[in-house]
Structure 1
Amino acid sequence: MKMDDQSLMAALSENVLTVNMLLIVFFLPGVLADCGDLKPALFITTPKKIEALNGSCLHIPCSFNTKEKSFNSSRTIYGIWMKHKASFGNPASSIFNSSGSVNTYSLNITGNLREKNCITLFPDLKTNYTDKYFFRVENGPFRATACADPLQITVKDSPWSPSINISGGDLKEHQSVTITCSALTPCPHSPPELTWNLQQDSHRQTEKNTDGTFTTKIQENITLSDTHDGYNIRCSARYPVNGGNKTAETAVTLSVSYAPRNTSASISPSGLVSAGSWVELNCSSRAKPPASFTWFRNSKHGAINVSVGQVYSFNVTEGGEFYCVATNDLANETSSVILLNTKGNPVFVAIVVGVIWFICLVLSVWYFKSKCPTPQQTRVGYFSSSVCSKFLSAGL
């Protein structure tokens, strides 16, 4: 009797274990098998991580594939989304089943499951929807979860700042470039509105990316000039959400290279300059990158290179015409000519004046002596003897 009781208890324990296993398999068919150590039977192609905006929708690009022969697209196919990874004692939380049995978040698979397309739309996300999600397919005897391809969804309260892209690399004057402002668009059904301080009628377009996500952008083609250097481009993205809008802005400052502009030369001191004194010639120009300067002097043989550098200082020996040339990698520009006028040295001038005065005096004495008659000369045309006597008495 005792042996029979032991046999009965063993049989009951075995039956209970069998029933439990059957219940697990019934309620979670295939989950434990393909989320364990075995090779997954289902794979999906979708971004590993997707960000969404609180109060907006989310488009999930998704396609699936399997090498299992038990999958038959002619049979009814159900797509299921679950939160968390299923494991023994910790089953996944199903939030959607295309059969209509579960739809916690009002999801909708817009893709054609028969074509292995599982594109899904979240209509209205909340921050507490942030989690890791798994996709599952049930197709008759084929039941598998894409455990190797989890999708991390992060729901943010703040929108993403748009990005500003400028074609062409290093920007230079006269260059035609395309300026693009683009914004992440997790909900293509309600794309963000983009505005900027360039042309206001720029056409907005929402484009599909290679990974199935979407981007909204506006573009403008412009030809650069020196006036664009330092120009601040601002672009804002306004996302429609339940209860209003959320806006983010980005600004980019243009850096444009241009040839020398407004090149001019100046002299200090100005006006007449005494020979032997120092003067300073200064060349200025607006250029990017900054210009280098070369000084020239005009001569009867042509222009002569006299100095390199923004400032040219020298001791004056004679006057002349000077000009400078500003040069950078793009071009060069020549200033107008400045005239250096000189005046004589005061000591030298005094000596010259003294010599001239002395020569004039000697000539005058000679002239008067030549005109004074001797006592024997009384002809008309000579000075009177009284004048000459006074002249001679003066010691001349």
Structure 2
Amino acid sequence: MLWEQVKLIFNSSGSVNTHRMEMVGDVRSKNCSSRLGEAEVGHEDQYYFRVHNSGMSATYCDDFVELKLKDSAWTPSIVVSGSDLKERQSVTITCSVYTPCLPSPPELTWNLKKNSHRQIEKVVDGTFTSKLQETITLLDTHDGYSIKCSARYPVKGGFKQSPETVETLSVSYAPKDTKASISLSGLVSAGSRVVLSCSSRAKPPPSFNWYRNNKDGANVVSTEQRYSFSATPAEEGDYYCEATNGVDSETSTRICIDIIDAHFTPSISISVGDLRERQSVTITCSVATPCPQSQPELTWNLQQDSLRRTEKNTEGTFTTKIQKKITLSHKHDGYNISCSTRHPADKNGNAAETEVTLSVSYAPRNTSVSISKSSGNWVELSCSSRGKPPPKITWFKKGPKKFTEVATGNFHKDTFTDGDEYYCVAANKLGKQKSSSISLTVQGTSGAWVFALKATLGIAALGSIGFFIDKWLKTS
């Protein structure tokens, strides 16, 4: 039974029910409640519970329920664990609302996560609270995010909606999307004004540093968000900015500044100084590269489509180069290697070119003897040979038993008798070569002289129309 002060308002048997109440649960299981479905302003009072059984009655006078009515639903509250919120931090977010009636708890909804599990807890003062709870790891995208939570209480004929509670998160996060920009293109003219700007998204707002890479590493050149300077060759190189706040820091991508008036002439180097035939050498065309992200184009006449690569030097600078390994021959002597470079950002297509002429030493070759002059009983012989350095010429004449050295020099003048035979040897520091021999023979009674070669390496040129080849005379 329920009594309002001393007036009976509800009996579980149903014989008395002035407030349109109902029994919820099972009395025999000692788990039941009485529910007042339509509370009105006049129902505010103190209510007592009385047990009546077979003529015995007991009233719980000290344990009464005081009914107070609220015209609107309770507003939920949102609590975020932790005060100084930072990205990558794990926090628990709770939306809770007062729950006056356990059998008919309020429904909570929010925009943090759908289908979050609802809990009902008894608090210290003995009342109850319904709540939604989620644990999340904060991101930079959570900064400024508004968590919205509302409750609706079941009443007869529907629900009573609570006002919506909104909690906006304030999350500190490290710099993001840090970018460096330049007022001009990467290739600038000497003397022009260059402005570098750094942008970044962070909370709290970041401070900025500008760095330039040189042979000693990265040096700070400015502590401002914008850095301006007059372009000179000394200012060439890689620039980047760094944004820093109390959470962390982030660097931008690099901006490479080339001065268009600076010297970009390539150089050609050969791995060996004293070039000789049959020698294997590596030939390199290279050019200084202030900005490795903006490599100059290199072309040469030594090989098409040579592989271009950029290397970091020991002093921290960069060089772009093309290379080819070749085995030298006499044909390379006097060969001109030309190499040109052009910066890809140079819209005018200006190119700088370098040439190197190869000087290759080689052994004598194409050594031969010819008749340059003749008169009476003397003849002047000429020895020709191609070699580098120019070869020394030695003359040999056939004696009774063997050939003996008779003279040196390119020309040899001698008196001769029938059957005399000569050859020459050309020699330099790389080798020597022997010519074919020439045989001098007298034919006929007119005293005309005939000169002929023993054909081993070639045929000598005859110096007079009255001379005939020995073999042709014998055949005829």
The interval holding the TM-score normalised by the smaller chain is 0.5 to 0.7
Structure 1 pair 218–133 and aligned structure 2 pair: CA distance change class (3 A): same
C-alpha contact (below 8 Å) 2:2/2:8 kept by paired residues: no
Greater relative CO, 1 or 2 (CA 8 Å, sep 6+):
1
Alignment match, 1:296: 211
The structure in which a higher percent of residues are strand is 2
For residue 159 of structure 1, the aligned residue among 61, 64, 73 is: 73
Query: Conserved in 2, the CA contact under 8 Å of 1:94 and 1:102?
Result: no
Q: Which of 155, 180, 183 pairs up with 1:241? A: 155
The corresponding residue for 1:255 is 170
Q: Structure 1 vs Structure 2: percent identity of aligned residues?
A: 53
Cα 1:97/1:202, change in 2 over 3 Å: closer
Distance change in 2, residues 1:136/1:202 (3 Å): closer
1:281 and 2:281 correspond: no
Report what 2:41 is aligned to.
128
C-alpha distance in 1 between matches for 2:170 and 2:197: 27
Which residue, 326, 331, 349 being the options, matches 2:248? 331
- Tell me, in whole angstroms, the C-alpha distance in 2 between the residues paired with 1:286 and 1:299: 28
Contact 2:39–2:69 (CA under 8 A) maintained in structure 1: yes
Compute the displacement of 1:190 (Å).
Answer: 0.5
Larger helix percent: 1
SS in 2 for 1:227: helix
Structure 1 CA distance for aligned equivalents of residues 256 and 154 of structure 2: 68
- CA RMSD of superposed structures (Å): 3.9
Aligned-residue offset at 1:315 = 2.3
Q: Which runs of 5+ in 2 are unaligned?
A: 25-31, 51-58, 263-476
Amino acid at match of 2:246: D
**In structure 2, the residue corresponding to 1:184 is in which secondary structure?**
strand
SS of the residue corresponding to residue 41 of structure 2 reads helix
Aligned residues: 249
Task: Report the Cα offset of residue 181 of structure 1.
Answer: 1.4
TM-superposed deviation, 1:260 = 0.9
Written as runs of structure 1 = structure 2, the 5 A alignment for 1:73-84 is 81-82=4-5
Matching residue of 1:214: 128
Do residues 223 (structure 1) and 137 (structure 2) align? yes
Q: Distance in 2 between matches of 1:150 and 1:240?
A: 24
Instruction: Show the 5 A alignment for 1:358-373.
Output: none
Q: For residue 355 of structure 1, what is the aligned residue in structure 2? A: none
Normalising to structure 2: TM-score of the pair?
0.45
**Contact conserved, 1:230 with 1:254, CA < 8 A, in 2?**
yes
* Structure number with larger C-alpha Rg: 2
Gaps of 5+ in 1: 1-77, 83-92, 111-118, 138-142, 346-396
Report whether the alignment pairs 1:343 with 2:256. no
Q: Partner letter of residue 259 of structure 1?
A: A
User: Is the 2:2–2:47 Cα contact (8 Å) retained in structure 1?
Assistant: no
User: How many angstroms apart in 2 are the aligned matches of 1:129 and 1:292?
Assistant: 65
SS in 1 for 2:141: helix
Name the CA shift for 1:319/1:177 in 2 (closer, same or farther; >3 Å).
same
Q: Which residue of 2 aligns with 1:312?
A: 227
**Per the alignment, in what secondary structure is the counterpart of residue 171 of structure 1?**
coil
Q: Does 1:175 align with 2:89?
A: yes
Q: Secondary structure at the match of 1:178?
A: strand
What amino acid is the match of 2:39?
Answer: K
Q: Distance in 2 between matches of 1:161 and 1:144?
A: 33
Q: Does the alignment pair 1:191 with 2:105?
A: yes
- Following superposition, the deviation at residue 254 of structure 1 comes to 2.0
